[in-house]
Amino acid sequence: MEGLPFILGFGGGSFLFYLIASSAGSTPSYVLAALLLLLAVFSVFFFRNPHRTSSADEGAVIAPADGLVIFLGEAKEEHTGDMMMKVSIFMSVFNVHINRVPLTGKLVDNFYVKGKFLDVRDQRATFENERNGLVIETAKGLKLVVVQVAGLIARRIVCYPRVGEMLLRGDRYGLIRFGSRLDVFLPLNAEVKVVMGEKTVGGETVLGILP
């Protein structure tokens, strides 16, 4: 649904300029029609929403997004104030941008922080960029934080869940338009299953196992 305005807008514009070009024989209109058609095709590609199958392991924390692991290590999660294991995933414009719930649990907090729009590969982006985070608590009382971080170009964060909702691992919960990063904060005693530079598949790659 998030991609429909872009797809219909670019597609409709392409058709309109094609009609103008056909009736007036205008080369510039043909060029504009072709460019808008390419943008419509790119929008279909960017907002694709493939089916994914998540791990059945109760303690598995799955990747919330397709991308590349660009940070792995202990860090302080500013909203909760806790030291946690942080896994950062960088999404390029070529990745699927649907964000998925990393584990089953109750949404106990949903926070938004206004900020800058640094390149998300800069580690300062975690603390300085505009972002939206979810704090999810499992039935065993363990908490995980997943944060959508806006970037240099990607400045539109979409997040659907509300506090109090039960979230299911692998469900779609939002997206960031057009390339960004997701920071996942796990308990320090979680067993990490990914390495730096690893490519993740949202909804499928297991980032770690909770104790």
Which of the residues are catalytic? 180
Q: For residue 179, which of 211, 153, 159, 197 has the smallest C-alpha distance?
A: 153
Strands 191-192 and 180-186: unpaired
Dist CA 87 CA 128 (whole Å): 17
C-alpha span between 15 and 30 (Å, rounded): 10
User: CA distances (Å), 211 to each of 24, 140, 188, 190, in order?
Assistant: 69, 10, 10, 6
Instruction: Judge whether 153 and 176 are in contact, CB under 8 Å.
Output: no
